[in-house]
Amino acid sequence: MKKVLTIAGSDCSGGAGIQADLKTFTAHKVYGMSIITALTAQNTTGVYGIFNTPAEFVKQQMDCVFSDIFPDAVKIGMVSVEKTIDTIVDMLNKYSPKNIVIDPVMISTSGSLLLDKNAVNCLVKKLFPFANIITPNIPEAEELSNIKILSSDDMIKAGQIIHNQIKTAVLIKGGHLENTADDMLIYESNIYWFKAEKINNPNTHGTGCTLSSAIASNLANGYNIYTSVKLAKEYVTKAIKSNLNLGKGNGPLNHCIF
């Protein structure tokens, strides 16, 4: 069995973060492990509290995982504290895992920046170089490229700017577009589109976490970047379409689709 590690925040309501990642891993028949960078108090209606794990304890968790059950792929999600980013960078240097997917969780659903500018800089300059693929959504791609994205041409432009900076595969997710949910991948300088209809379902809590974890699972299972994204997109589309409707706000996906 392949082993996949997520380094991310906990969502006590189970729809996003670590909880979504572990469910996604199980659905992909890989062994899941988790390093929790923060506890959040949240549910389908919003995020009400964040309690960051001390960086030293993130380090201790990473030493425990990497010295024992070495992962075949690593997904990195919410890390908002510079010291924790530095710690993760040190640990990645120490252990050199392969197949690293970074979901740069930078902007909240309501549009505000979750990290200060210094932490964004740290993420881009120090952590991104380890990634085999990064998966910004549209607001995050706007922040990283410094251009406004209003069309598919803009997605390509932004993707190229980011790709030129960090030289790794970039998947810009189209979940925030008006009429479609088309995702665009730049991989080894080629452009690929993964087109999907926009599903009329407000229950999309945790789509980004789920997609990046599915990509990490597929990489662990030996698929290349292109196929890993293609299969992950199919998985997340099915999980949204399944129409699970839980909670009073934007509910979670159904991860139990095999």
Whether the CB-CB separation of 124 and 164 falls below 8 Å is answered with no
Q: What residues contact residue 59 under an 8 Å CB cut-off, 6+ apart?
A: 87, 90, 91
Give the number of residues in contact with ligand ATP, rule: CB under 6 A.
23
229 interface partner picked from ligand ATP, Mg ion, none, CB below 5 to 8 A per type: none
3-class SS of residue 92: helix
**Selected binder of ligand ATP within 198, 223, 231, 247 (CB under 6 A):** 198
Between 59 and 75, CB nearer to Mg ion? 75
**Selected binder of ligand ATP within 206, 235, 251, 255 (CB under 6 A):** 206
The strand order across the sheet containing 100-102 reads 46-52, 31-43, 3-11, 73-76, 100-102, 133-134, 169-172, 183-187, 190-194
Q: Tell me how far apart the terminal alpha carbons of the chain are, to the nearest angstrom.
A: 17
In the 8-state DSSP scheme, what is residue 107? B
Q: Has 159 been annotated as catalytic?
A: no
Distance of alpha carbon 225 from alpha carbon 214, whole angstroms? 12
User: Inter-axis angle of helices 17-27 and 207-220, to 10 degrees?
Assistant: 40
Burial class (CB in 10 A: 0-12, 13-18, 19+), 110: exposed
Q: Has 173 been annotated as catalytic?
A: yes
Between 60 and 237, CB nearer to Mg ion? 237
Q: Which position among 204, 210, 233, 251 bears the catalytic label?
A: 204
Between 55 and 149, CB nearer to ligand ATP? 149
Q: Is 16 in the site for ligand ATP (CB under 6 A)?
A: yes
Taking CB under 6 A as the rule, which mask of x and - marks residues 88-127 in contact with ligand ATP? ---------------------x------------------
Rounded to whole angstroms, what are the CA distances from 128 to 108, 111, 161, 162? 20, 22, 14, 11
Q: Is 226 in the site for ligand ATP (CB under 6 A)?
A: no
Between 137 and 221, CB nearer to Mg ion? 137
Residues that bind Mg ion (CB under 5 A): 208
Q: Which position among 2, 59, 75, 173 bears the catalytic label?
A: 173
Catalytic positions: 173, 204, 206-209
> Which residues of this protein are in contact with ligand ATP, per CB under 6 A?
16, 109, 137, 173-176, 181, 183, 196, 198-199, 201, 204, 206-209, 211, 233, 236-237, 240
